[in-house]
Structure 1
Amino acid sequence: MSARSILITGASSGIGRALALAYAGPGARLALTGRDQGRLESVAAMAREQGAEVDAGLLDVRDQAAMAQWIGAADARRGFDLCIANAGITTGLAPGELHEDPEAVRAILSINLVGVLNTVEPLIAPMLVRGGGQIAFIGSIAGLRGLPYAPAYCATKAAVHAYSESLRGRLEPAGLSVSLVIPGFVKTPLNDSIEAIKPFEISDAEAARIIRRGLDRRRAVIAFPWPIYLAARLSEILPARLVDKILSRIEVKAPKTRERVG
């Protein structure tokens, strides 16, 4: 059964935007957050045109107090059935670079990891009190194996994967469903900034369709595309230095984030 009251962070662009529009419709209540007011208002307007009730919050997921207050108030008005912790950024290395900017590393940790905690923590207790609900984490194929061109990004997604798996084992016996989404290349502004071969890349709308179908079925893991997912899993059992050597031959230019902590 599809959720009707949904929180989506990072809803002003990319997968978050596509998910908001995929869920929008008569009877749906969407709580959307983002940092770009113009884009967020545009997504909210399109969702309303499709018949959804929309609350839009101009929020930075790094702000624990603001997130807790806004999410708590929205949940009190109408309890969320589904929370999608989606907001995230990327950062990485250009060919020839050997280390990441420490400030960029800390910025991506604060958004991709701490921002996830700030999203889900305010909802765990009220969902448990209601006896149900669903939390979904947007991870990445890059969370399955460290990539030479994006150490910090891979670290954040690996942490999100572990956190999701840990919560699932703890919360599902109490009636709260937890799902981990592991996408490969999806055509979004974030991925467009990365210069690389992108095998099996799909549109954000197609990714949203796959994710929604998996969440409707309460799947523990929603991974796509299968060839890339299986290759990443295979890399875990191959000799580590062999995989390092193969990956190091793939030329990728990943932009540095301009985000900073504080």
Structure 2
Amino acid sequence: MTAGTGITVITGASSGIGAALAEELARKGHRLALLGRNAERLEAVAERCRAAGVPCTTHSVDIRNRTALQDVLAGIESAAPIGLFIANAGILDGRRDGETVESYEAAERVLDTNLISTISALHLVLPGMRARREGRLLLISSLAAFAPLPDAPAYSAAKAGLLSYGLALREALREEGISVCVACPGYVTSAMSARHLGHRPGEIAAEDAARRILSALDGDRALSGFPFSLYWGSRLSLLVPAFIRRLGMKGLRFRVGG
């Protein structure tokens, strides 16, 4: 993957997959703009990226604040064209200890962050890409898009929505020189996954996940999912009878910690 002349923007870059993607892209020579809510953690990631010899700016912003996000992205675009936009920002919430189902407040927060605000961010960078007739979009979804988690319905819905939106966007933009890749990782070690109190089969390091995701992006693949067994198990899960799916999901029940 070549760095090109534009800027690579990553949302949710202060930890987990976002941070790992930033460091991997820095090693490949990408000029970076990192977005996240935690300014201190974001700056620590940026320092590691700068150590690789690339320019890297940080922007502390909540993507749910569209006005603030618009200002940040406009400032980045004024410095250089945004060539790659990675929509990675997301939160995990769901059923808490003592609950049968997640609260409405948790569901609203997850859907706003993981889907609505992410789509809003995409439409803030798309005009520049469309005018130049070039650019790449990378959307970080989840295997929960294929196999809805009963303990996190809103998270599953948001990731399914992001998957469908990304694949549809890829076809809509294919004649305009803009590529779209949707990544659906399984369990990845991160601060967010630490709130997942339950079994996490096939969990991999964020660095490993980043390399797999960027390989799919480099190959201009529409969709990337891993690990292999969970990916195909998830994709096939909606085709089997409900009682079989229920048995398969039984070992994946969890609750969300504070």
Residue 259 of structure 1 is matched in structure 2 by: none
What is the Cα deviation at residue 133 of structure 1?
A: 0.7
The 1:120–1:45 alpha-carbon spacing in structure 2 relative to 1, beyond 3 Å, is same
CA–CA distance in 2 between the matches of 1:223 and 1:96? 32
Residue 201 of structure 1 is matched in structure 2 by: 203
Amino acid at match of 1:79: P
Is structure 2 residue 19 aligned with structure 1 residue 17?
yes
Residue 118 of structure 1 is matched in structure 2 by: 120
Residue 211 of structure 1 is matched in structure 2 by: 213
What is the Cα deviation at residue 28 of structure 1?
A: 2.2
Deviations along 1:179-204, whole A, 9 cap, x unmatched?
00000011111112212222111100
CA–CA distance in 1 between the matches of 2:148 and 2:228? 19
Deviations along 1:89-129, whole A, 9 cap, x unmatched?
00111476322111111111111112212321111111011
Q: TM-score, normalised by structure 2?
A: 0.94
CA–CA distance in 1 between the matches of 2:168 and 2:73? 23
Amino acid at match of 1:203: A
What is the Cα deviation at residue 218 of structure 1?
A: 1.4
CA–CA distance in 1 between the matches of 2:28 and 2:235? 40
What is the Cα deviation at residue 255 of structure 1?
A: 3.1
Residue 240 of structure 2 is matched in structure 1 by: 238
CA–CA distance in 2 between the matches of 1:127 and 1:240? 43
In structure 2, stretches of 5+ residues that fail to align are: none
CA–CA distance in 1 between the matches of 2:237 and 2:61? 38
Counterpart contact for 1:187–1:201, Cα < 8 Å: yes
Give aligned pairs, total: 256
1:106 aligned residue (97, 108, 112): 108
Counterpart contact for 2:188–2:205, Cα < 8 Å: yes
Amino acid at match of 2:121: T
The 1:250–1:58 alpha-carbon spacing in structure 2 relative to 1, beyond 3 Å, is closer
Q: TM-score, normalised by structure 1?
A: 0.92
Amino acid at match of 1:29: R
- SS of equivalent to 2:198: coil
Residue 171 of structure 2 is matched in structure 1 by: 169
- SS of equivalent to 1:135: strand
Give the fraction of aligned pairs with identical amino acids, expressed as a percent. Answer: 36
In structure 1, stretches of 5+ residues that fail to align are: 257-262
Amino acid at match of 2:249: L
Residue 153 of structure 1 is matched in structure 2 by: 155
Greater relative contact order (CA < 8 Å, ≥ 6 in sequence): 1
Counterpart contact for 1:10–1:88, Cα < 8 Å: yes
What is the Cα deviation at residue 245 of structure 1?
A: 4.4
The list of structure 1 runs, each at least 4 consecutive aligned residues, that deviate by more than 6 angstroms after superposition, is: none
Amino acid at match of 1:117: I
Residue 77 of structure 2 is matched in structure 1 by: 75
